[in-house]
Amino acid sequence: MEYFTQQLINGITLGAIYALIAIGYTMVYGIIGMINFAHGEVFMIGAFISIITFLLLGLFGITWAPLAILVALLVTMALTPLYGWALERIAYRPLRHSPRLAALITAIGMSIFLQNYVQLVQGARIKPLQPVVTGGIEIMRRDDFVVTLSTMQILIVVLTVTLMAGFTLLIQRTALGRAQRACEQDLKMAALVGVDVDRTIALTFVMGAVLASVAGLIFLLHYGVVDFHIGFNAGIKAFTAAVLGGIGSLPGAMLGGLLIGLIEAFWSAYFSVEYKDVAAFTVLIVVLIFRPTGLLGKPDIEKV
């Protein structure tokens, strides 16, 4: 029971990161029907911008955790989206009316480009960060097995839930969110009622990047290390989460992220760490066999 609880906590933490990235995949897919494979790299850049901010703050002697995290959060949320915006503007928009394969290959190309760019500029070595947040609450104990909920994990969950609530509000309640949902259903018709479709798509990339940048910050705080390669694995997992939840569906991305996180945590705990990726992908395959649209996806009715 104690072990189970600890893994549950760990799984939720991991799931929060996946879910934040998965939203970016699912939104972009929903609106222009392409998989932005470079999205994982945006997450990685978010993590790098965070670590650079922490190190700079350290140079100026600002190490008080709440302030440092707040500054890093604001900086990464402000700068990372520029990459998301530029990706759309430079690489994807010119190809919007090309065959899907062209956009897909471009996305993979951008992913490789961004990885190499960071490798070149920041070096290939793993970059460590001193733990910023320490401490935690002991919630259970049996003999010498202690279940702890670390302050870090509380912070991650609070941050993720707040962000997702705000985000849901934005999609449901604001003119921009409404325009995004309209574009998702019919781009041309949206233009005909006066929605600036190009700007709406650009903002979708920006919003996805904001969430991914926070995921990057969380990853950095949680694991304490980053390198230029973290975007690949996290990106694939988050993409899996989006497909599992039903690509195009926002609640689906959140649920899918959480599930993938939990599956990984529990599989590592009870079976073997080596095969945790296999477990996650197996669940994906099984779900897709029985529900091709994912858990919360709507069946795509052929337009007449």
Partner 1 sequence: MNALPLLSVERLTMRFGGLMAVDDVSFAAETGHITAIIGPNGAGKTTLFNCLTGFYAPTSGLMRLAHDGGEFLLERMEGFRIAARAKVARTFQNIRLFRGMSVLENLIVAQHNRLMRASGYTLAGLIGLGVYRDAERQAVERARYWLEQVGLTALADLDAGGLPYGDQRLLEIARAMCTEPRLLCLDEPAAGLNARESAGLNALLTFIRNTHRIGVLLIEHDMSVVMSISDRIVVLDYGRKIAEGAPEAVRRDPAVIRAYLGEEEGAP
Binding site for partner 1 (CB under 8 A): 166, 169-170, 173-176, 178-179, 181-182, 185-186, 188-197, 298, 304
Rounded to whole angstroms, how far apart are CA atoms 266 and 279?
A: 10
Q: Specify the 3-state DSSP secondary structure of 227.
A: coil
Q: How far is the CB of 169 from partner 1 (least distance, A)?
A: 7
| CB-nearer residue toward partner 1: 126 or 170 | 170
Buried b vs exposed e over 143-179: b needs ≥16 C-beta within 10 Å? eeeebebbebbebbbebbeebbeebeeebeeeebbeb
Q: How far is the CB of 106 from partner 1 (least distance, A)?
A: 23
Q: How far is the CB of 251 from partner 1 (least distance, A)?
A: 14
Q: How far is the CB of 96 from partner 1 (least distance, A)?
A: 13
| CB-nearer residue toward partner 1: 207 or 260 | 207
| CB-nearer residue toward partner 1: 121 or 175 | 175
Q: How far is the CB of 297 from partner 1 (least distance, A)?
A: 13
Rounded to whole angstroms, how far apart are CA atoms 252 and 234?
A: 17
| CB-nearer residue toward partner 1: 61 or 299 | 299
Residues contacting 284, CB < 8 A, separation 6+ = 240, 243, 244
Rounded to whole angstroms, how far apart are CA atoms 166 and 182?
A: 20
Rounded to whole angstroms, how far apart are CA atoms 232 and 230?
A: 6
Lookup: tokens for 299: 């069946």
Q: What are phi and psi of 136, to 5 degrees?
A: 175, 180
Lookup: tokens for 222: 């949680």
